[in-house]
């Protein structure tokens, strides 16, 4: 038996023994995610046990190095672990912006001290992070951001406002892009800094979306004092001062990968055709609405091809590396596809899908989800920004 086969066997046995029954329902969706953090209330004892057991193995982030709380697994081993978890419909034990975004940025740009200090609590779900990127006047043109960060000798002084800070009201810490050199050209005066949300002068305000939900916040910084070192040798700034844009770009790549992979994950479970067949019925084995049937078939072809592309790009990427600029392609296509998918589900659902309140539609779950997808092609860089990146970085087309 090869080493990988042994690993598969052992992994299966371990999961079988350690994954609580309640965590094997394959439940996805934002409402079932375990986010962790000091404010977190576990939805069940099983959710807590599952997190703790996986964290102990380092399997909340199986590909991170062991010394920082990860599992130290190879790319092939991670694939096996994920496959085995999928097969038993195990829920993900922990998801967070710490895992998706800050972690990869720290692993690449952080010092050993920063990694040791910040990464293990992320892997155990103890500290929840949020992201301070966009500002009211810096959306697609993110590098024009103005949040001020002044050097006051022994500390930094931060003043400004961030917007679309997801779950800021439930987070412990925030990674923020700030302007540390107002004289430099716009990409060259930005730094990437880590701020404790409990610091005096940090406040948040939820933003209600068209879906009726409020995952996003505005976050305000009023004379916030950030120590230069959060602990001896642990700098508040990640990477070089004024080189925060490099970190930001790298992190955005991961965010795009996460969003596109998430879009792919949503394709699991019941297919569009099956959903529509249940809702509007079949005639002679075919969906009773032939125009909708054609659109759904086309969408399934594109969705399936997209999933295969995610798989191919992961297989093509060298071990330990991401998919690079292709993350923009995946983000663009995945989010646009997800919007299309929800439009078709709304078409299938007809008038019933429009019920906003009440038990029958679980408080308008589909309608709210449909509206939520409209943000997919805006957050993390709009579709238009992704197309710009593809044109410039992949196709090497000339600038204006």
Partner 1 sequence: MALVLTEEQEMLRDSARGFLDEKAPVSALRKLRDTNDENGFSRDLWKEMAEMGWAGILVDEEHGGADFGFVGAGVIAEEMGRTLTASPFLSTSILAATALTKIGADAQKQEHLPKIAAGASLFALAVDEGRKHGPSKVAMSAEKSGNGFKLSGDKTFVADGHVADHIIVAARTAGAAGEKAGLTLFLVDAKAKGVSAERTIMVDSRNAARLKFDNVEATGDDILGEVDGGYEALEGVLNAGRAGLAAEMSGSAQQAFTMTIDYLKERKQFGSEIGSFQALQHRAAHLYSEIELMKSAVLKSLQDLDAHYGMAGIICSLAKAKAGEVAKLASQEAVQMHGGIGMTDEYDIGFYMKRIRVAQEMFGDSAFHADRLAQMRGY
Interface residue list for partner 1 (CB under 8 A): 271, 273-274, 276-277, 282, 285-287, 293-294, 296-298, 300-302, 304-306, 308-309, 311-313, 315-316, 326, 329, 332-333, 384, 386-388, 390-391, 394-400
Buried b (16+ CB within 10 A) or exposed e, 110-141: beeebbbbbbbbbbbbebbbbbbbbbeebbee
Taking the complex as a whole, the smallest distance from the CB of residue 213 to partner 1 amounts, in Å, to: 30
Evaluate the CA torsion angle 56, 60, 63, 69 in order and state its sign: negative
Taking the complex as a whole, the smallest distance from the CB of residue 391 to partner 1 amounts, in Å, to: 4
- Residue (265 or 273) nearer to partner 1, CB: 273
- Residue (158 or 296) nearer to partner 1, CB: 296
Cα 67 to its chain centre, rounded Å, is 24
- Residue (229 or 300) nearer to partner 1, CB: 300
d(CA 37, CA 168): 12
Nearest to 261 by CA among 171, 323, 168: 323
C-alpha R_g of the chain:
22
Taking the complex as a whole, the smallest distance from the CB of residue 385 to partner 1 amounts, in Å, to: 11
- Residue (89 or 286) nearer to partner 1, CB: 286
Assess whether 255 carries a catalytic annotation. Answer: yes
d(CA 84, CA 105): 28
Yes or no: say if 338 and 263 are a contact pair by the CB < 8 Å rule. Answer: yes
Which secondary-structure segment (H or E) carries 217?
A: strand 216-227
Taking the complex as a whole, the smallest distance from the CB of residue 64 to partner 1 amounts, in Å, to: 23
Catalytic member of 255, 257, 283, 343? 255
**How large is the angle between the packed helices 244-265 and 326-349, nearest 10 degrees?**
40
Taking the complex as a whole, the smallest distance from the CB of residue 390 to partner 1 amounts, in Å, to: 4
- Residue (31 or 315) nearer to partner 1, CB: 315
Which residues are identified as catalytic? 255
């Amino acid at each position: 038996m090869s080493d990988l086969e042994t690993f598969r066997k052992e992994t299966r046995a371990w999961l079988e023994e350690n994954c609580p029954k309640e965590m094997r329902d394959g439940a996805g969706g934002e409402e079932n995610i375990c986010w962790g953090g000091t404010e977190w209330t576990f939805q069940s004892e099983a959710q807590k046990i599952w997190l703790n057991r996986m964290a102990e193995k380092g399997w909340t982030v199986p590909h991170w190095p062991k010394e920082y709380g990860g599992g130290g697994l190879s790319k092939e081993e991670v694939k096996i672990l994920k496959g085995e978890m999928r097969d038993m419909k195990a829920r993900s034990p922990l998801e967070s912006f710490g895992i998706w975004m800050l972690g990869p940025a720290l692993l690449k740009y952080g010092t050993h001290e920063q990694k040791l200090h910040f990464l293990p609590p992320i892997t155990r779900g103890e500290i929840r992070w949020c992201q301070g990127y966009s500002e009211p006047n810096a959306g697609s043109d993110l590098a024009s951001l103005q949040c001020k960060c002044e050097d006051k000798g022994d500390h930094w002084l931060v003043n400004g406002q961030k917007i679309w800070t997801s779950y800021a009201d439930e987070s412990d810490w925030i990674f923020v892009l700030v302007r540390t050199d107002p004289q430099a050209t716009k990409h060259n005066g930005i730094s990437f800094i880590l701020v404790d949300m409990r610091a005096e002068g940090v406040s948040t305000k939820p933003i209600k979306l068209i879906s009726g939900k409020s995952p996003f916040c505005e976050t305000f910084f009023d004379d916030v004092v950030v120590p230069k070192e959060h602990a001896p040798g642990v700098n508040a700034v990640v990477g070089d001062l004024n080189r925060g844009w490099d970190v930001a770009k790298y992190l955005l790549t991961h965010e795009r990968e996460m969003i596109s992979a998430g879009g792919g994950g949503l394709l699991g479970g019941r297919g569009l055709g099956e959903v529509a067949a249940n809702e509007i019925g079949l005639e002679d084995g075919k969906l009773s609405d032939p125009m909708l049937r054609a659109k759904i078939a086309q969408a399934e072809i594109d969705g399936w091809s997209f999933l295969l592309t995610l798989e191919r790009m992961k297989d093509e990427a060298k071990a330990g590396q991401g998919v690079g600029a292709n993350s923009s392609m995946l983000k663009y296509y995945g989010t646009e596809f997800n919007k299309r998918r929800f439009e078709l589900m709304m078409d299938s659902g007809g008038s019933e899908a429009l019920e906003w309140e009440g038990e029958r539609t679980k408080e308008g779950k589909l309608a709210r989800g449909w509206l939520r997808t409209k943000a997919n092609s805006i957050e993390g860089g709009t579709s238009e920004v992704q197309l710009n990146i593809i044109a410039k970085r992949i196709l090497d087309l000339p600038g204006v």
